[in-house]
Structure 1
Amino acid sequence: MPNPLYARLQATAQRLIAKYGQAGVIRRIAPPDPVNGGDGTPVDYPCVLVPMTYDQRYVDGTNIGSSDRQIYISSVGLSIKPMVGDQALTADGTAYHIVAADPNNYDGVTNVVFIVQGRTSP
């Protein structure tokens, strides 16, 4: 049973991301046909997101690089859960690969907000 506290937190996160965020797309590569093979098909899922720079005290050059971004993605209206390997394309055209994901799902039912670590391709 969903906890009403998490529904309120989800609404607050959605409102703040809608106010300060931008339209983006999460691109997931669908697996190829198991019989015929071939390449995977990219599928785009629209979302609202806020890319933020990591504070310098967290940048160690190994786990978090200087060009990595912490991306907050609204869970409202999103039909998938962002996973490692997906691409989050921001509105300014910069493509980030998701290298770490935190669903912020405290009660097992309500996804409050998705916080992912995005890394640009070298």
Structure 2
Amino acid sequence: MATFDYAEMQAVADDLISEFGQTGSVTREIQPDPMVGGDPTPDPHPAVLVPMTYDQRYVNGTTITTADRQIYISSVGLAIEPSVGDIVTAGGKTYHVIASDPNNYDGLTNVVFIVQGRMQ
């Protein structure tokens, strides 16, 4: 039985996102040392992504609102795995990550990151 090539699927996802997407960033705030104090430091990571409006049937006003976008982020070259609390910037708009799915089916290869971003 042949094994599925997740690296190939990662490359296909990256090609599609690169062709139809845009450049943006995923920013994670680095918290200061609790002993020293200070303000969090933003740590931006460049990304290629596609923000898309949720299909109306998924919008329930609670877990998914009309201000939410489903954002496909290429995992190729991205130094971090987007997670809840991160900030995604695309097309001059800022989104807070509400939910994240790495699409990591084999436990090794992140095929594509799909996050739920809520507009500020």
TM class, shorter-chain normalised? over 0.9
Give the match's secondary structure for 1:9: helix
User: How far, CA to CA, are the matches of 1:44 and 1:4 in structure 2?
Assistant: 33
Deviation for aligned residue 1:4:
5.7
Deviation for aligned residue 1:57:
0.4
Give the share of equivalent positions with the same residue, in percent.
61
User: How far, CA to CA, are the matches of 2:68 and 2:4 in structure 1?
Assistant: 34
Q: Structure 2: where are the runs of 5+ without partners? A: none
Deviation for aligned residue 1:99:
0.2
TM-score (norm 2): 0.95
Q: Which amino acid aligns with 1:113?
A: V
User: What corresponds to 1:80 in structure 2?
Assistant: 80
User: How far, CA to CA, are the matches of 2:106 and 2:74 in structure 1?
Assistant: 17
Pairing 1:32-111 to 2, within 5 Å after superposition: 32-90=32-90, 92-111=91-110
Q: Which amino acid aligns with 1:25?
A: S
Q: Which amino acid aligns with 1:82?
A: P
- Count of aligned residue pairs for this structure pair: 118
Give the match's secondary structure for 2:103: coil
Deviations 1:56-102 (A, max 9, x none): 00000001001210000000000000000000000x21000000000
RMSD (CA atoms): 1.0
Q: Structure 1: where are the runs of 5+ without partners? A: none
User: What corresponds to 1:24 in structure 2?
Assistant: 24
TM-score (norm 1): 0.94
User: How far, CA to CA, are the matches of 1:4 and 1:110 in structure 2?
Assistant: 12
User: How far, CA to CA, are the matches of 1:41 and 1:58 in structure 2?
Assistant: 35
